[in-house]
A = this chain, B = another copy of it.
Amino acid sequence: MVSGERFIITYLLSGTQQDAFSKAKDICIEQTVEFPANLLTPGVIQDHVVGRIESFEFYDNNYRAEISYANEITANELTQFLNVVFGNISIKPGIKVESIDLPPTLLNHWKGPRFGRAGLRKLLGIPKRPLLFTALKPMGLSAKQLAELAYKCAVGGIDIIKDDHGLTDQCFAPFSERISLCAAAVHQANRETGNNSIYVANVTTAGGHMIERAREAKERGAGGIMVAPALAGFGCMRQLADDDTISLPIFSHPAFIGSYVTSSENGFSHQALFGQIMRLAGADAVIYPSFGGRFSFSQTECESIAKATQAAMADIQPIFPAPGGGMSIDRIPELYQVYGNDVMFLIGGGLFQHGPDIVENCRYFRKLLNEFAS
């Protein structure tokens, strides 16, 4: 019943060499059999089910251990994969997931993004330059007001116009009304400009309702959907990506996920969570707070995310990094130096801050980009 194929998780472990090695041995048990090691008898469980330390070395003031697990213990389920990677040990201090390395057999079960970078570029008709991305806000505007804003952003040349992540189904702007009006507004603008801008509906909510909202978004003309997987569940985002009746690009939002990356001694590295896991879970673009904005990610962390969105991963396609979070338009040249062409620049509040006329602000954003992006 066991193929012998294994996947490898690299953990950073804090403490003395002895402490760190104890942690590595503990992970092998805790994440699999969760059973007294002295009671395990020789056989498949001890030989295959229990995790295995493949390497252990001093690294960056900590210790780094590669631990392998049998493919079969994931049951090919993304939720159970995450459970094996970091379920119970999330409660134990001093353990951080640095990277994941999965064999093609396992990668192919989760397929990655439906569109990926190439698919999104084709959909938008933009072969090479960075994509322009904004958010409809503030919460409290009516559906009609949000749609007017969406129209202006599309006329001004923004490629992707999404709901702010706090917009769900509030009485101010109920879901059905909001997505109908916003999608129609962006289509209207496209007819006038000849562009292919899309409206992205935030569908984050509980499981079954999220599928319903995504289908409704599709029917009413949205060009993409946004999900915050830490709120909705990574497995639920994967289900949206797998659903042929939806078939829309997925934008993952980082709401509620920060606690997994804010500690240097617990959680995930930025590249593993925002690069590798979002990609596995079906995001076509991953939104994260860029360095220099109002959040705390460093430039190195942001670059590691961008790198992981395109690192080789069997047949899993690269996805777009979408840095945002307090960006101003004037930082675009600097960000372009770091990210190059394969990026989505998410500017929300900064687009309003630039001047009183939204359409003009959008045009300035687009013009600035055209000046240096090839």
A interface, CB within 8 angstroms of B: 1, 26, 30-36, 39-40, 44-45, 48-49, 72-73, 75, 77-80, 82-84, 86-93, 135, 137-141, 164-166, 168-172, 204-211, 228, 230-236, 238-239, 254-263, 266-267, 289, 294-297, 325, 348-349, 352-353
Contact = CB atoms under 8 A, between A and B. Distances in A.
Contacts of A353: 36, 39
B75 A168 contact: yes
A230 B289 CA distance: 22
B79 A204 contact: yes
Contacts of A93: 262, 296
Contact of A236 (B88, B171, B206): B206
Given A206-B78, A233-B206, A233-B207, A257 B91 contact: yes
A90 B35 contact: no
16 contacts: A26-B294, A33-B166, A39-B353, A79-B228, A80-B166, A80-B169, A82-B231, A83-B165, A87-B256, A90-B255, A90-B257, A206-B236, A207-B233, A209-B235, A259-B260, A259-B266
Work out how many copies of this chain go into the complex.
2
B77 A168 contact: yes
A294 B254 CA distance: 31
A166 B90 contact: no
A260 to B, nearest CB: 5
